Structure 1
Amino acid sequence: MATARDPAAVLQHALLTRLKLRQLALLQAVDRHRTLGRVAAEMRLSQPAITKALHEVEDIFDAPLFERTSRGLLPTPAGDAVLEYARRWLAELEATAQVLTSIGSGRSGRLRLGLTQWVPQQLLSTALTHLLQGTPRTAVMTREGVTDELVAALMAGELDCAIGRSYDGPVTGVVQQAFYEQEPCLMVAAASVKRLSRGPLDWARLAQLDWILPPPNTPMRRTYNAVFVGAGVQPPQPLLETTSMRSIETVLRTEANAVCILARDVVAEMAQGGVVAALPYRLGWMLPPVSFFTLKQLEQQPAVVSLRAAVMQTARQMQAKARAAA
Structure 2
Amino acid sequence: MPTTRDPAADLLHALLSRLKLRQLSLLQAIDRHRTLGRVAAEMRLSQPAITKALREVEDIFASKLFERTSRGLVPTPSGEAVLHYAGRWLAELEATTRVLTSLEAGRGGRLRLGLTQQVPQQLLSAALVHLLDRTPRMAVMTREGTTDELVAGLVARELDCAIGRSYDGDATGLVQEAIYQQEPCLVVAAKSVKRLSRGPLDWARLAQLDWILPPPNTPMRRTYNAIFVGAGVQPPVPMLETTSIRSMEMVLRTQPNAISILARDVVADMERAGHWAALPYRLNWNLPPVSFFTLKELEAHRMVKSLRDAVVEVAQGMQRTAG
TM-score surpassing 0.5?
A: yes
Q: How does 1:72-221 map to 2 (within 5 A)?
A: 72-221=72-221
In the alignment, the residues of structure 1 paired with residue 322 and residue 231 of structure 2 have an alpha-carbon distance, to the nearest angstrom, of 29
Unmatched segments (≥5 aa) in structure 1: none
In the alignment, the residues of structure 1 paired with residue 125 and residue 34 of structure 2 have an alpha-carbon distance, to the nearest angstrom, of 43
**Does structure 1 residue 281 correspond to structure 2 residue 281?**
yes
* Matching residue of 1:253: 253
Unmatched segments (≥5 aa) in structure 2: none
In the alignment, the residues of structure 1 paired with residue 5 and residue 286 of structure 2 have an alpha-carbon distance, to the nearest angstrom, of 55
* Matching residue of 1:320: 320
**Structure 2 counterpart SS, 1:187:** strand
- One-letter amino acid matched to 1:184: P
* Matching residue of 2:10: 10
In the alignment, the residues of structure 1 paired with residue 58 and residue 239 of structure 2 have an alpha-carbon distance, to the nearest angstrom, of 49
RMSD: 0.7
In the alignment, the residues of structure 1 paired with residue 119 and residue 185 of structure 2 have an alpha-carbon distance, to the nearest angstrom, of 14
- One-letter amino acid matched to 2:125: S
Deviations 1:120-176 (A, max 9, x none): 111111111111111111101111000000000100011000000000100111111
Deviations 1:78-113 (A, max 9, x none): 101100000000000000000000000111100011
TM-score by length of 1: 0.98
* Matching residue of 1:30: 30
In the alignment, the residues of structure 1 paired with residue 2 and residue 138 of structure 2 have an alpha-carbon distance, to the nearest angstrom, of 55
**Structure 2 counterpart SS, 1:162:** strand
In the alignment, the residues of structure 1 paired with residue 70 and residue 149 of structure 2 have an alpha-carbon distance, to the nearest angstrom, of 32
In the alignment, the residues of structure 1 paired with residue 225 and residue 30 of structure 2 have an alpha-carbon distance, to the nearest angstrom, of 41
Shift of 1:51: 0.4
* Matching residue of 2:295: 295
**Structure 2 counterpart SS, 1:314:** helix
**Does structure 1 residue 69 correspond to structure 2 residue 69?**
yes
- One-letter amino acid matched to 1:178: A
In the alignment, the residues of structure 2 paired with residue 284 and residue 210 of structure 1 have an alpha-carbon distance, to the nearest angstrom, of 22
Shift of 1:316: 1.1
Shift of 1:294: 0.6
* Matching residue of 1:46: 46
Deviations 1:18-64 (A, max 9, x none): 11111101000101111111111111111111100000101111111
Deviations 1:267-303 (A, max 9, x none): 1111011110000111100000000001111111110
Shift of 1:183: 0.6
Structure 1 runs of 4+ aligned residues shifted over 6 Å read none
**Structure 1 counterpart SS, 2:313:** helix
- One-letter amino acid matched to 1:106: G
- One-letter amino acid matched to 2:83: L
Question: How many residues of Structure 1 are paired with residues of Structure 2 in the alignment?
Answer: 323
* Matching residue of 1:307: 307
- One-letter amino acid matched to 1:156: A
Moved more, 7-16 or 238-247: 7-16
- One-letter amino acid matched to 2:68: R
- One-letter amino acid matched to 2:129: T
In the alignment, the residues of structure 1 paired with residue 321 and residue 223 of structure 2 have an alpha-carbon distance, to the nearest angstrom, of 27
- One-letter amino acid matched to 2:236: P
Shift of 1:4: 2.3
In the alignment, the residues of structure 2 paired with residue 40 and residue 265 of structure 1 have an alpha-carbon distance, to the nearest angstrom, of 54
**Does structure 1 residue 240 correspond to structure 2 residue 240?**
yes
In the alignment, the residues of structure 1 paired with residue 237 and residue 154 of structure 2 have an alpha-carbon distance, to the nearest angstrom, of 32
- One-letter amino acid matched to 2:197: S
Shift of 1:13: 1.2
In the alignment, the residues of structure 1 paired with residue 29 and residue 125 of structure 2 have an alpha-carbon distance, to the nearest angstrom, of 39
